[in-house]
Amino acid sequence: MIYLDNAATTMIKPQPVIDAVVAAMTSMGNASRGAHGSALQASRTVYDARCKLAKLFGCKSPDHVIFTCNSTESLNIAITGAIPAGSHVISTDLEHNSVLRPLYRLEEEQGVKLSFVPADKQGNIDYADFEKLITPETSAIVCTHASNLLGTKLDLVRIGQIAKAHNLLLIVDASQTAGAANIDIEAMNIDILCFTGHKGLMGPQGTGGLCVRDGLTLRPFKVGGSGIQSYNKHQPVEFPSCLEAGTLNGHGIAGLSAALDYLEEVTVEAIEAKEHALMMRFYEGVSKIEGVTVYGDFTQPRTAIVTLNIRDYDSSMVSDALSEDYGIATRAGAHCAPRLHQALGTTAQGAIRFSISWFNTEEEIDEAIRAVAELAVEE
């Protein structure tokens, strides 16, 4: 199989990630739950992973790296925990439902008002729109670092400057960029960075987290066991326990820790460069094929995604043909990105997303181009 659905999850993992999970499952106790050898080993593993993530993202305090199951959980913690009822939030048309649905819930249940920076037909936004949408009630900007549908990357330095100038919280969904592009919390003025472990970071599914700026407090999304302060009726206020009720996915975090070692060795810069080169090879190949419509602006910064349609064919049928007839894994449909599909005019047809990883090769890309060309031949 040629796996080109890496924006959903990077299926191919570095071998040390797999080895670390297996080792953890045969030796690891419960982190922060006791002082015997296996519990301490778990606590050390989790702490090491916190330190590595803090270093990767430029987070000053490892204890402000919070582990969750995925970006969606992180975004729910951030959005429901940091945005005041009745305030106003600015987001964008590029967002995934992991951002949109928590915001819509706040709108319905907490009287939060929402505004969205619109995307044009190429998926680009006008940064001046952020300033135009700010009102006296605006409390936060919540936005993706890169669209999961088109790969369009937002300029977080610029958005961070706007947020800082207007004293707004900046909550960022880095699902598509963590491990695949450089992120610097300080330079980008990010207050809460939400990430998943199983995409660009190449760790196991069921891992993710958020980095919270020092001095920021969030109402816990869930409360419960913490391993400390057992007679306290409330969740401890100390980070990270305040936002980590219940047993962590220690086995997954062990794998994520190994993935972070791998990333440090190969470097995010090398990954980004290789993925970008493969993406451009694919884009240049498919964009010349008659009947193929490629979406997005390839002159702008982006992640390694190429999204297209063939003629007026149902995207699901094309994706199925790619899988069944060519052994190529892609993602069709709406990609949990309703507002961007509306902006592109593709709600009915959907689109076929090809998303590339560090482990893909030029040969795989060329085979995928040939497959698209064959499917595009008019009957």
Partner 1 sequence: MKAKEPALIVTFANTPDAIAMETFCKQNDLPGRLIPIPGALKAGCGLAWKAPADHEALFTEKMNAAGTKYASIQVIEL
CA distance 59 to 216: 13
Residue 196 interacts with partner 1 (CB under 8 A)?
A: no
What are φ and ψ of residue 300, in 5° steps?
-105, 160
| Beta carbon of residue 247, minimum distance to partner 1 (angstroms, whole number) | 13
CA distance 309 to 176: 21
Among 241, 249, 330, 349, the residue binding partner 1 under the rule CB under 8 A is 241
Residue 230 interacts with partner 1 (CB under 8 A)?
A: yes
Residues near partner 1 (CB under 8 A), total? 23
Residue 34 interacts with partner 1 (CB under 8 A)?
A: yes
Cα-based angle 47, 51, 57 (whole degrees, multiple of 5) = 140
| Beta carbon of residue 171, minimum distance to partner 1 (angstroms, whole number) | 23
Residue 35 interacts with partner 1 (CB under 8 A)?
A: yes
Among 239, 283, 295, 358, the residue binding partner 1 under the rule CB under 8 A is 239
Residue 233 interacts with partner 1 (CB under 8 A)?
A: no
| Beta carbon of residue 188, minimum distance to partner 1 (angstroms, whole number) | 24
| Beta carbon of residue 231, minimum distance to partner 1 (angstroms, whole number) | 5
Q: Rule CB under 8 A: which of 353-372 touch partner 1?
A: none
Residue 63 interacts with partner 1 (CB under 8 A)?
A: yes
Residue 238 interacts with partner 1 (CB under 8 A)?
A: yes
Question: Among residues 267, 264, 187, which one has the least CA distance to residue 172?
Answer: 187
Residue 348 interacts with partner 1 (CB under 8 A)?
A: no
CA distance 83 to 80: 6
Question: Among residues 52, 43, 360, 4, which one has the least CA distance to residue 226?
Answer: 43
Question: Where does this chain touch partner 1 (CB under 8 A) — which range of 5-13, 30-38, 158-166, 307-315?
Answer: 30-38
Question: Among residues 73, 113, 119, which one has the least CA distance to residue 95?
Answer: 119
Find the largest Cα–Cα distance for the chain.
72
Cis peptide before 118 (omega within 30 of 0): no
* Cβ nearer to partner 1, comparing 239 with 354: 239
SS3 (DSSP) at 295: strand
Contact assessment for residue 229 and residue 103, using Cβ atoms and an 8 Å cutoff = no
Burial letters 12-39, b for 16+ CB under 10 A, else e? ebbebbeebbebbeeebebbbbeeeeeb
Question: Where does this chain touch partner 1 (CB under 8 A) — which range of 169-177, 184-192, 233-241, 321-329?
Answer: 233-241
Q: What is the binding site for partner 1 (CB under 8 A)?
A: 31-35, 40, 43-44, 47, 50, 62-63, 227-232, 236, 238-241
